[in-house]
Amino acid sequence: MDSTNEEKISIGVFVRRGVIKKFLQQTPIAKYAELHEANEVVKANLFFFSRDGLKGKAGKILGVFFNKRNAKWSMKQFSYPHVVYSRKSGGLAGKKNRQYRREFQIRKVIWWSSHRRYNKWDVFEKLANDPNIKRYLPITNKYKEISQLIPMFKKYSSVYLKSARGTGGGGVIRIRPEPGGGYEWSQHGSELITKKLLTLKELSQEIARFYRKREIIFQEGINLLSMGGRLVDFRGDLQKNGKNQLYYSYINARIGEEGSPIASRTTAERKVLFDEFIEQYMNGDWGNKEKLRRRVHHFLRTTYTTMEKYYGPLGELGIDFGIDHNWKIWLIECNKTPHRKNLKYLYPRDQRISVWVRALEYSKYLYQRQLKSKAVERDKVK
């Protein structure tokens, strides 16, 4: 939308089509119902839409809003919003969505976050050359052939392979060389799978079968903290607020399933706030607890600001990280669109609402910044 009038800001929230379906069934997903509640504070014109909502009348978007007249979620045509807050990973990426992206650009609609997921190899290449962050990175390389893994097996007790564009842990494989020969292969997609491969040739064939033509990276295995045979990693969720200030929304520990190569595939009951976890894990060691908190906060802020340096303004970022048995912090990966599906298990309602208030206020900040920029350009013309 190219209007520069001081009208009420319009924010469109881009979601999956399944989210729209739940709205129209009057059973909205909890986090999106809370996002709507957060708008009672921000008071924007708020609606939700999916890719399907872009297929109708030219210049209009078919979206869902809460109709106060009948207290139901309803659908109607909307003009293009001032800002799109994308809650769908990948946004409108891909060739098939090029025309839709172009429509938003023509109308000067602010869209955050961007339309592309992070490529893990691209991220690690950039960060490995940055003096502020490189000490947090495991040894990482782009996989081309099985011979690259031989020196890794000699040096490390485990090696991880990951899809460069994968999310959620489904494209992660842990490989352990076994003392008597052969290799243990572990993956945790819809279920935990462990098997033994006898030779490098078998391993090479299995890698090719599993990943097919996808881009792959490999990394040294990290000796993560564990509890009862379950790996533990952490998620930090950082946001910008309406003043463009960085805010720690939450940090939680994820305690994986027994024997799983990853911790992220776990139940909500095994996700706890970071402070609760270290209180339990570092029983009585108050000085080191506080020192670890400060180090983690510094790591998260450094990661966020470094990612912004290479990828531009973010607005929010999910940072997955690990801590090893020597208390060293390791960056695992960054996520443009933190799912926040477990907020309801971690925080009371008022704190959950605050997370969404900050997101909407940041949207408002972006629009106000755009208006000021346009005003400056008009003054230059005069």
d(CA 201, CA 197): 9
Q: Rounded mean pLDDT of 312-338?
A: 94
CATH number of the domain where residue 207 is located: 3.30.1490
Residues of the domain holding 364: 10-116+355-381
pLDDT at residue 374 in the model: 83
Total count of domains within the chain: 3
Predicted confidence (pLDDT) per residue in 83-108, tens digit? 999 999 888 988 889 999 999 999 99
Q: Give the rounded distance of the alpha carbon of 9 from its chain centre.
A: 26
Whether residue 318 lies inside any domain: the answer is yes
pLDDT over 70 percentage in the chain: 96
Q: Is residue 123 part of a domain?
A: no
Q: Which strands make up the sheet holding 172-177, listed edge to edge?
A: 140-142, 216-220, 159-163, 172-177, 183-188, 192-197
Q: What is the pLDDT of residue 190?
A: 82
pLDDT digits (tens, 9 = 90+) for 193-243: 999 999 999 999 999 999 999 999 999 999 999 998 899 999 999 999 999
Are 259 and 187 part of one and the same domain? no
Task: Indicate if 171 and 75 belong to the same structural domain.
Answer: no
Between CA 66 and CA 263 the distance in angstroms is 37
Mean pLDDT of 337-349: 86
Write the DSSP string, 78-145.
EEPPSEEEE-STTTT-SGGGHHHHHHHHHTT-EEES-SSPPPHHHHHHHHHT-TTTGGGPPPEEE---
pLDDT above 90 covers what percent of the chain?
Answer: 78
What's the pLDDT band for 317 if we cut at 50, 70, 90? very high
Task: Report the pLDDT value the prediction gives residue 193, as an integer from 0 to 100.
Answer: 93
φ and ψ at residue 177, rounded to 5 degrees = -70, 135
Of 318, 288, 331, residue with least CA distance to 132: 331
Domain final residue, candidates 220, 247, 270: 220
Measured CA distances, 72 to 3, 22, 33, 68, 382 (Å): 30, 12, 12, 7, 49
Q: Give the mean pLDDT of the chain.
A: 92
Q: Which of 360, 285, 296, 343 is nearest to 322 (CA)?
A: 296
Report whether pLDDT(347) > 80: yes
Residue 209's CB is within 10 A of a number of other CB atoms, namely 8
CATH number at residue 77: 3.40.50
- Based on the domain organization, do 286 and 301 belong to the same domain? yes
Q: pLDDT tens-digit profile of 258-304?
A: 999 999 887 766 889 999 999 888 776 667 888 999 999 999 999 99
Q: In the predicted model, what is the mean pLDDT of residues 42-48?
A: 97
Instruction: Check whether the bond before 163 is cis (ω within 30° of 0).
Output: no
